Chains A and B, each alone.
Chain A
């Protein structure tokens, strides 16, 4: 009953989406207010029906209704409740349902919060949003219905893939989808602007918060996925240049570029056509990511099952939306009025440079991800493009970008003073050089790359702070004045500081982890001691235990530093009977920002156990950086000028802000 209701709710959502994708457009054409307002009610109703459908699937999973194929294949009655819920999107059908639910959520939010939008713009945006929604409802209903029944219901399910039975699954996919799908809003706004043939700074002010929300979630989603892979897969890697990761990195790069070009458009009414193109590209890359992951053309641990009909269907959606929006762009973009002028050395110029590097880096990731596919289709040769390729292409493009990051905020709009900016960054530069020398001396000349990269990271971090010091007049005015100014500084300026500093923090973590990671691999017997980076790990013993739906072998290590007992670590190996598979649960010991990492290999007949121990210096900074970036994004979002649904600022306020 619940399954049929969920299915029916999804069909109704499709019907509503079809109405929403046509009537408001006619309304906008005929200037009929009632017809345009249809978009608002259908978007909200659509959200309610999709939410009902999603809730139905969750209910089926929670109550382990194995007469539904999706539940049978991905659940087990003994599975803990949290994994029964998260298992809903741990499979193809459920994750597509989550995808459209989030799409409907964003559509509903635009409908509810968009009362200050011009009526025709809102009608157009919601109509475009409904086109996307209709395509994906059709996809789910035709090829991936999660509510199919089995004629003879089995008693027990086949359980969720053990690797996915982790709290990471509860957080990572929803975050990532909020990011991916969030870019649909900027896409819809861009297409709406192209249809209307009108775009201005106010447009950028409406789009920016939505882009920012999507970007924050995507940043956190990628970081979360990276940390999940790090602790779950048992060998301490945190980024693999796997096509599935690249699929999420590409929209992030395009989205980061879009955020920066929206600033130019909002403040200076320039770069309009470029901003529209980036909005289209960011969502197109999200769709491409969905295609890569969901169609199974390049499958990795994320890519669940496949079926050629699904691949072809998503490819079709991809072609229609990307091809359609780019054609519309080619046809209509020239009709948009060009914006203001600026000198190459200026804030705008710096943001253009940022956009150039980000999109070029994005292009190299695109080539590295799709070239092996294209080659295999055309010549049949199989190649793998891995980390070395991306280190040689992505790295050299990102380094100059990092050098220029601190300069951007210090340059004035319209015409900047590079020399002045360089002078103000003198402190940061000197600090960076001192750090380079210190690190180099401390590691006794063990390679120049790592000290230089750390120096660069310090330059970015202190550069961000000196921008802040400059704005509040620290050291130039009395401390009280400076503090008062700091409080008065727009939140978006604080956001910039945090986000840019976060980039530096992440870079330090990446460099330290890759350069000074130490590794110990051996087979150990109880009583054996492993020494790594000054720590002593003694294998106390191995015991077995029974979990809810698995059995596990737990090894206990006592960790000593300078003879003093710090803690015990208990990595384990779990075997899941239902799927006949095993997972490795690594044990982590955090010391400051560094971590000890222990994972187990096979257990031999004579009681020896293969052990892999890592010491990862400052590894946590890799994820602290993105968290800082996201926090910066959140601060910007809370800026009153950008608050979602904030009323249009009055003329006088706008005048004040221009002076900042």
Chain B
């Protein structure tokens, strides 16, 4: 093989691998990306049953009902709409009524959100960034939701951080600064 042929082989091989990688990425982008919605957005968009998404909002006070064998139902609201959620399993340590929550799952045919993961990624003065942003957009942000709302909103967790799902509180810096 001449120098030119060898170089062409290597360049061709590289391009082939890169093309495969790009195709894989584009394909995965289409199928496996999960969008985030609040109950109001769910009502607006008419998300079809069975389509996975993340639902964010506040657990409505008084809505938590514990059933048999760790089954729970609760309502998630964002001020303008609420959505019933059902879930079976352990709730994270920081799951509380009146606090922010993110649930991942899909709507069933009767309009109940069946969650398979529930994340409560916040501590006492903190709520998930997606929820905080959505509430702010709707003008429902209250200062008591966070001692440092700006900081809270900035420093949220990535929703994908399921490791925090189980209630690992976000390490927070003090309010002194």
Residues of chain A whose beta carbon lies under 8 Å from any beta carbon of chain B: 69, 72-73, 90-92, 150, 158, 161-164, 229, 232-235, 237, 240-244, 296, 298-301, 303-308, 341-344, 349, 352-353, 356-357, 360-361, 363-364, 367-368, 371-372, 381-386, 388-389, 391-393, 396-397, 521-523, 579-584, 601-602, 604, 610, 612
Contact = CB atoms under 8 A, between A and B. Distances in A.
A304 B173 contact: yes
B157 A299 contact: yes
Given A393-B24, A521-B70, A360 B17 contact: yes
Given A384-B34, A523-B69, A584-B93, A163 B168 contact: yes
Interface of A is mostly: mixed
Contacts of B20: 360, 396-397
Interface in B1-42: 1, 3, 6, 9-10, 13-14, 17-18, 20-21, 24-25, 27-29, 31-36
A349 B131 CA distance: 51
A388 B172 contact: no
Interface stretch (B43-51, B73-81, B106-114, B158-166): B158-166
Interface in B98-156: 123-124, 129-130, 133, 151, 154-156
B171 A164 contact: yes
A306 B31 contact: no
Nearest to A161: B171
A352 B17 contact: no
A357 B162 CA distance: 28
16 contacts: A73-B176, A158-B174, A162-B169, A164-B171, A235-B166, A240-B163, A342-B6, A357-B17, A382-B159, A397-B21, A580-B123, A581-B93, A583-B93, A601-B90, A601-B91, A602-B91
Contact of B90 (A242, A301, A304, A602): A602
Contact of B160 (A164, A241, A360, A522): A241
Contacts of A244: 158, 161
A233 B124 contact: no
B17 A306 contact: no
A69 B173 CA distance: 10
Contacts of B36: 382-384
A69 B24 CA distance: 48
Contacts of B171: 90-91, 161, 163-164, 301, 304-305
B163 A229 contact: yes
Nearest to B18: A360
A348 B70 CA distance: 57
Interface of chain B, main secondary structure: mixed
A604 B90 CA distance: 12
Interface of B: 1, 3, 6, 9-10, 13-14, 17-18, 20-21, 24-25, 27-29, 31-36, 54, 66, 69-70, 88-91, 93-94, 123-124, 129-130, 133, 151, 154-174, 176-177
Contacts of B1: 343-344
Contacts of B21: 360-361, 363-364, 393, 397
B177 A299 contact: no
Contacts of A92: 173
B173 A523 contact: no
A399 B136 CA distance: 45
Given A381-B35, A383-B35, A385-B160, 13 more contacts: A69-B176, A229-B163, A301-B164, A304-B173, A341-B3, A341-B6, A344-B9, A360-B20, A360-B21, A382-B130, A384-B160, A386-B162, A396-B20
Given A242-B161, A360-B17, A363-B21, A161 B169 contact: yes
A91 B168 CA distance: 16
Contacts of A300: 157-158, 160-161, 163-164
Nearest to A600: B90
Contact of B169 (A90, A163, A298, A344): A163
Contacts of A161: 169, 171-172
Nearest to B152: A306
Contacts of A352: 10, 13
Contacts of B161: 240, 242-244, 300-301
Nearest to B34: A384
Given A353-B13, A360-B21, A584-B93, A393 B70 contact: no
Contacts of A371: 29
A61 B132 CA distance: 34
A386 B34 contact: yes
B70 A523 contact: yes
B90 A296 contact: no
A361 B28 CA distance: 14
B32 A356 contact: no
B173 A298 contact: no
A298 B158 contact: yes
B174 A72 contact: yes
Contacts of B32: 385-386, 388-389, 391-392
